[in-house]
């Protein structure tokens, strides 16, 4: 130990705190301005493929650059390539929100930068996660037999549920795997054709293959047909398959339909199948007493997921996973920890790393805590209630106009609809609606998306941004009706006034 | 459309921008202070199990609470339960950094809140991700045949690599799955016993089971024995296994050993096995010209991962995945997108959702861009070089003291070592070192962890925080030597002075 510390050159260290202060304050102002005036940007980016890449250097800078330059490029280079998910005109996919308190929570999480892998790695990260999960459980009205874990995305939440279902089958797959075993049946998962695409991806990832997923037919309202599910399951059992998991959805992505949980739970009970409920969007509506019914039957599920990052004003990413059988989840994933992850606390605490594949875990409970506290149950309910109100208002506008029609029930905050002017033949309606979508999105004022129901294109307006209000819906409706006018075939001289007015609906 | 907008009640909306400003500025000051003076907190939280949970309400608040209260609770309730990963005394696991520019980048990402699932969903998010991945590729010196994707964690990056390896085997597993197929061999993956625990978890997740992972023996320096690997592979082939993946590590978690990539690549070439390199920590050292050798042979890998959130000052989470065969990754995961994810751009752009299970993708390229630009290649090199210097300095102190010994080579910034005072019998050294660890961590000044090499407990000092400097290492060494003094058996009256001075080393 003869070395003198002075002999060693000093470390360069981090940006000086005062510089962080200067730029941090500047960025707070930038974000406040973005929240207040971000509607000046076109919602859907107008960038062409490759345009942003072309405005960036092809290699990293050799020397440090000032944050001034970086923040300058933010405005000039990055923003033109941003599609503004965090603005109220965003009505596509499922609209989401990085709310003001959520942004502050996320900022703090990155400054603390804890990895919530083990309890000891930050007791507050683990315990706050437990607490906010329990708060959310109470808000949506699940029984306290459900315990939770926060994951990044619904894709992973469902992957973990399906892996737990595999574990619950009791075929020793965790140890022996699935390939090359003569003693295993083929394993099958069931969901409707409207289940989220991540379910099929999860099945592929977990080694069941696309053939391991059977898509159950839906009824006229896009809800899984539970009778068909029972028939599919029983037919598969006769053919030697082992049904091991059903994924039901509360609020499907296309039409926000609600699969009939009680009837599906009956099938799962009768055949000892793990029931996983994907309630990432629609299930959050259950924080409203008048919407609690959307989770009827969910208390019988083995696992259920919600995305606070979807319709609870929490910045990406935050998936709340609950299970009545968290021990099975743990069995599916926990290892005898390597020495470097063994801690003296042992079973006295919950080490979340044991409940999934990911060792690295951000402190996601923090932003959810900021959101739940600053809005309160009452504030969250008011906002969701308002979104549902706006959707019904929009649907009424659509239904009240003879040139348009609503394409699916509107239980939540999403409306599926299309233009169907009488003079346009049925075979051209898909093209017409896609043209309307493109024209509306080019306006820059709103951004909507589309889906296909049955074999018919439907436009979708999804309300989920915290600042979306009536004027945005009004603007959307104006753009849509204007786009229809411009897209309509010009009436020919030979068409009689009576003919033009005649709207045959089928 | 007869409804008047006025008839509908106004939406509650987000927190007013001025309130965001007030609290945002306050939080910037809080973070600046935390960066500057965070060393006043004990690095390892002293909270008892359940303590933080007990200080939080058991249910969510009914009414909105002010951010003042939330930020007040941050200091009073949360901080006592934080283990301070983002402070320079954190020397446990792999020490990481949420640097000042990284925190700003993360703050901005949460304010933009884009989901980078599709190019169209924010062209800048996709293209900036492509650009920074290419910058990082250049920095570590990988050839441009490697294309990248950012994932959340190394656990997922490796899962994707192993899934791609499964796809590359050509057994139609993506479609037909693995269970109940008489035509499949058993499939096996190889890694050393020092591979990260996530590799075994990934294998379990993907359906190979723990038996699908064969741990290859290591040499005296904890490096995978490539001759043993070849023997294991050939023995398995004779027994009917199909070897499909080898995971080599550059910088193992326990001892930061470097598996011999060229020899391993030869085995993989000879047996057509996918070679995945876990270089999440150690591989980043290759940004230093003098350390470029740690990736010798990596250019022959099929895939390789780095964690900028580990040793490149980027807040959690950020895993940089590269492959020479990204088309195989895409084949393993892409679906015909559902209608709601189809975009007019088609193959002209890269839709990152096709390269993994997760549809939700945070704008992680932004924080990496902030970090790469504000430090520059030169600044990053200076910091990594300094960390390596500090580790060697610390190892010299250990090696220079007869009561201590270094337990493994120190190629990077992590030192494995232990106390071995002559008077303590070999059978009691593990207990002695664990006692020292506990005592040192209780000091609150530093936080170290331990591992097991062979069957021997080794203490670990890992340098990765951007503000860790000599004084922290000096403090660590002081605490360690003090802890040894206090933990030493009290000399008995019968021991002669000569006996006490006699340090038998074995």
- Going by C-beta distance under 8 Å and a sequence separation of 6 or more, which residues neighbour residue B453? B222, B254, B255, B407, B408, B416
Does residue A454 sit at the B interface (CB-CB below 8 Å)? no
Indicate whether A501 pLDDT > 50: no
Does residue A400 sit at the B interface (CB-CB below 8 Å)? yes
Average pLDDT for chain B: 93
Whether residue A52 and residue B124 make contact (CB cut-off 8 A), yes or no, is yes
Mean pLDDT across B298-320: 98
Q: Identify the band that residue A489 occupies on the pLDDT scale cut at 50, 70 and 90.
A: low
Q: Identify the band that residue B499 occupies on the pLDDT scale cut at 50, 70 and 90.
A: very low
Mean pLDDT across A101-107: 97
DSSP per-residue codes, A401-470: STTEEE-S--SSSEEEEEE--TTS-GGGHHHHHHHHHHHHHHTSS-B-EEEEETTEEEEEEE---TT--H
Question: What pLDDT sits at residue A1?
Answer: 38
Does residue B317 sit at the A interface (CB-CB below 8 Å)? yes
**For residues B372 and A67, what is the distance between their CA atoms, to the nearest angstrom?**
11
Task: Please report which residue ranges of A38-122 form alpha helices under DSSP H.
Answer: 51-54, 67-73, 100-112
Does residue B198 sit at the A interface (CB-CB below 8 Å)? yes
Q: Which residue of A has its CA nearest to B377?
A: A62
Question: What pLDDT sits at residue A317?
Answer: 96
* 8 Å CB contact between A448 and A459: yes
Q: Identify the band that residue B505 occupies on the pLDDT scale cut at 50, 70 and 90.
A: very low
**For residues A130 and B256, what is the distance between their CA atoms, to the nearest angstrom?**
34
ipTM entry: 0.94
- Cβ neighbours of B207 in A, within 8 Å: 166, 173, 177-179, 206-208
* 8 Å CB contact between A159 and B207: no
Question: Is the four-CA dihedral A251, A252, A258, A259 of positive or negative sign?
Answer: negative
- The CA distances from residue B22 to A85, A104, B15, B66, B280, in Å, are 24, 11, 11, 12, 39
Q: Six-digit token pair at A403?
A: 């040139």
Crossing angle between the packed helical segments B365-399 and B470-487, to the nearest 10 degrees: 50
- Cβ neighbours of B15 in A, within 8 Å: 99-101, 374
Classify residue B210 by its DSSP letter. Answer: G
Does residue A343 sit at the B interface (CB-CB below 8 Å)? no
Whether residue A82 and residue B125 make contact (CB cut-off 8 A), yes or no, is yes
- The CA distances from residue A80 to A71, A444, A482, B137, in Å, are 14, 12, 26, 26
Q: Six-digit token pair at B134?
A: 């290419």
Report the residue count for chain B: 506
First to last CA, chain B: 91
Nearest C-alpha neighbor of B161 from the set B9, B326, B385: B326
**For residues B389 and B381, what is the distance between their CA atoms, to the nearest angstrom?**
12
Question: What pLDDT sits at residue A5?
Answer: 39
Average pLDDT for chain A: 93
Q: Identify the band that residue B263 occupies on the pLDDT scale cut at 50, 70 and 90.
A: very high
- What percent of chain B shows pLDDT beyond 70? 94
Question: What pLDDT sits at residue A299?
Answer: 98
Mean pLDDT across A284-291: 98
Q: Six-digit token pair at B264?
A: 């391993």
Cα-Cα-Cα-Cα torsion B81, B84, B86, B91, nearest 10 degrees, comes to -150
* Per-residue pLDDT tens digits for A396-415: 999 999 999 999 999 999 99
DSSP per-residue codes, B338-377: -GGG--TTGGGS--GGGGSS-S----THHHHHHHHHHHHH
Lowest average pLDDT, out of A357-371, B99-113, B280-294, B492-506, goes to: B492-506
Whether residue B155 and residue A335 make contact (CB cut-off 8 A), yes or no, is no
- Cβ neighbours of B187 in A, within 8 Å: 177, 179-180
* 8 Å CB contact between A207 and A186: no
Indicate whether A505 pLDDT > 50: no
* Per-residue pLDDT tens digits for B201-248: 999 999 999 999 999 999 999 999 999 999 999 999 999 999 999 999
Q: Identify the band that residue B1 occupies on the pLDDT scale cut at 50, 70 and 90.
A: very low
Lowest average pLDDT, out of A30-39, B154-163, B447-456, B488-497, goes to: B488-497
- Cβ neighbours of A63 in B, within 8 Å: 376-379
Facing B209 at nearest CB: one of A49, A176, A345: A176
- Residues linked to residue B378 through DSSP beta bridges, in sequence order: none
Q: Six-digit token pair at A100?
A: 């003001």
Residue that has been written with the tokens 């959707």 in this structure: A391
Question: What pLDDT sits at residue B490?
Answer: 63
**For residues B192 and B216, what is the distance between their CA atoms, to the nearest angstrom?**
5
Classify residue A77 by its DSSP letter. Answer: I
Report the residue count for chain A: 506
Indicate whether B8 pLDDT > 50: no
The interface residues of chain A toward chain B in range 294-313, judged by CB-CB distance below 8 A, are: 309, 313
Indicate whether A147 pLDDT > 90: yes
Q: Identify the band that residue A3 occupies on the pLDDT scale cut at 50, 70 and 90.
A: very low
Cα-Cα-Cα-Cα torsion B336, B338, B339, B340, nearest 10 degrees, comes to -130
Provide the number of CB pairs (under 8 Å) joining chain A to chain B.
626
**For residues B185 and B45, what is the distance between their CA atoms, to the nearest angstrom?**
49
Residue that has been written with the tokens 């091991």 in this structure: A244
**For residues A156 and A205, what is the distance between their CA atoms, to the nearest angstrom?**
11
Q: Identify the band that residue A498 occupies on the pLDDT scale cut at 50, 70 and 90.
A: very low
Whether residue A52 and residue B198 make contact (CB cut-off 8 A), yes or no, is no
């Amino acid at each position: 130990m003869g070395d003198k510390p002075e002999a060693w050159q000093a470390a360069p260290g981090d940006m000086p705190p005062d510089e962080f202060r200067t730029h941090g304050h500047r960025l707070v102002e930038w974000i406040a301005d973005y929240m207040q005036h971000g509607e000046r940007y076109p919602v859907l980016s107008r960038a062409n493929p490759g345009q942003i890449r072309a405005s960036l250097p092809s290699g990293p800078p050799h020397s440090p650059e000032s944050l001034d330059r970086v923040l300058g490029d933010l405005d000039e280079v990055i923003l033109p390539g941003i599609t503004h998910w965090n603005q109220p005109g965003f009505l596509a996919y499922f609209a989401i929100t990085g709310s003001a308190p959520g942004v502050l929570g996320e900022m703090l999480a990155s400054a603390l930068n804890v990895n919530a892998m083990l309890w000891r790695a930050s007791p507050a990260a683990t315990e706050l996660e437990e607490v906010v999960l329990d708060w959310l459980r109470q808000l949506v009205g699940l029984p306290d037999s459900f315990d939770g874990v926060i994951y990044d995305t619904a894709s992973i939440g469902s992957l973990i549920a399906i892996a737990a279902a595999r574990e619950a089958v009791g075929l020793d797959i965790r140890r022996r795997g699935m390939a090359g075993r003569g003693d295993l049946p083929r394993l099958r998962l069931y969901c409707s054709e409207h289940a989220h695409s991540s379910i099929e991806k999860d099945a592929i990832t977990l080694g069941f293959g696309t053939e391991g997923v059977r898509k159950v037919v839906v009824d006229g309202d896009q809800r899984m047909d539970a009778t068909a599910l029972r028939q599919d399951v029983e037919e598969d059992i006769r053919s030697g398959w082992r049904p091991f998991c059903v994924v039901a959805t509360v609020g499907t992505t296309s039409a926000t339909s609600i699969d009939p949980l009680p009837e599906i739970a009956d099938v799962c009970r009768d055949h000892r199948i793990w029931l996983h409920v994907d309630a990432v969007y629609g299930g959050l509506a259950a924080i409203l007493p008048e919407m609690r019914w959307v989770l009827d039957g969910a208390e019988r599920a083995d696992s259920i997921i919600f995305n606070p990052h979807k319709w609870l004003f929490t910045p990406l990413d935050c998936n709340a996973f609950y299970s009545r059988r968290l021990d099975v989840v743990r069995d599916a994933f926990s290892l005898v920890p390597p020495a470097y992850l063994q801690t003296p606390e042992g079973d006295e605490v919950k080490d979340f790393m044991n409940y999934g594949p990911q060792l690295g875990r951000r402190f996601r409970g923090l932003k959810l805590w900021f959101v739940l506290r600053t809005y309160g149950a009452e504030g969250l309910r008011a906002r969701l209630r308002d979104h549902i109100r706006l959707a019904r208002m929009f649907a009424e506008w659509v239904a009240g106009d003879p040139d348009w029609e609503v394409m699916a029930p509107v239980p939540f905050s999403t409306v599926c609809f299309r233009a169907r002017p009488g003079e346009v033949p049925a075979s051209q309606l898909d093209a017409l609606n896609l043209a309307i979508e493109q024209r509306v999105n080019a306006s820059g004022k709103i951004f909507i998306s589309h889906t296909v129901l049955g074999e018919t294109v439907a436009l979708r307006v999804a309300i989920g941004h915290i600042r979306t209000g009536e004027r945005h819906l009004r603007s959307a409706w104006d753009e849509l009706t204007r786009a229809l006018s411009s897209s309509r075939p010009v009436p020919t001289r030979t068409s009689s006034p009576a003919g033009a007015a005649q709207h045959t609906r089928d």
